[in-house]
Amino acid sequence: MVEEHNVEKENQPKSNCRIQVTKNGPYVVSGNIPLYRMIIKCDGKTNIPTEWLVAAKYSTQEKYALCRCGQSKIKPFCDGTHFKINFNGTEDFENKSFEQMAKQIDGPKLTLKDAEILCASARFCHRGGDIWDQIPLTDDSKMAENCVRNAFDCPSGRLVVIDKATGNALEPVMDQAIGAIEDPTIGRDGPLWVRGGIPVYSADGKPYEIRNRMTLCRCGKSTIKPFCDSSHYPEEYRER
């Protein structure tokens, strides 16, 4: 299902759900937000992702804490290890809007906005061909459909497709939820996929821009904390 998003409306909280970043500590999640284990399923020959699989739903309470340092023994949940290792969870992300970060590629039917700094390396942008090569060919309906589909499956929201006829962003309709990403094909586990416009607040209480798709670092190594910058790949981060 596709929804056309108005940016001003999207930046208004939809519910009492929220994620609070704590100083040098975990993410405190409140509002009965469901938590899932999400697996990237890949083509066996090319290792290019084909789809998202929901592997499990975690048992959670109204409020729970998720590991941010990457060292908890009960990941994805926090066990207090951040105290023992003196975790430095400084939020280095320059709090810009998506529009300020994104570059634009225009095609005949669609425009692609690309905030590369947000890349979480989920690789759906390569499914059926690279999205950057296909945007200029979107007068072909199949190319346009593939671009929209691949942007929708980009968990970080790095890639956003704009319908040139209306000027509105095309976004999947998502229930508010969090997904702990696993990427078994390449032997890595990824960030926390924040879905459905859940507000995220910095340790000093400032809100980050509300977006439909975001990824939060959980390996502890990102240079743009609290957001993921793909550091889990060189760090060979694994949940279990």
On the question of pLDDT at 240 being above 70, the answer is no
> What H or E segment, with its residue span, contains residue 49?
strand 49-57
Distances in whole angstroms, Cα of residue 31 to Cα of each of 15, 38, 175: 8, 20, 13
What's residue 44's pLDDT? 84
pLDDT in tens, 101-150: 999 999 999 999 999 999 999 999 999 999 999 999 999 999 999 999 99
Counting residues of the chain whose pLDDT is more than 90, the rounded percentage is 85
What's residue 236's pLDDT? 53
What's residue 3's pLDDT? 55
> What H or E segment, with its residue span, contains residue 134?
helix 131-134
CA 189 to chain centre: 13
CB count within 10 Å of CB 183 equals: 24
Entry pTM: 0.92
On the question of pLDDT at 201 being above 90, the answer is yes
pLDDT, mean of residues 185-198: 94
pLDDT in tens, 60-79: 999 999 999 999 999 999 99
pLDDT band at 7 (very low <50, low <70, confident <90, very high): very low
Q: 3-class SS at 30?
A: strand
pLDDT in tens, 11-29: 555 578 999 999 999 999 9
pLDDT, mean of residues 169-179: 98
Distances in whole angstroms, Cα of residue 87 to Cα of each of 129, 160, 190, 219: 40, 33, 19, 11
Q: Please, what sign has the CA dihedral across residues 103, 150, 97, 65?
A: negative
When the pLDDT of each residue in the chain is averaged and rounded to a whole number, the result is 93
Q: Which residues contact 76 (CB under 8 A, 6 or more apart)?
A: 35, 58, 66, 67, 180, 192, 218, 239
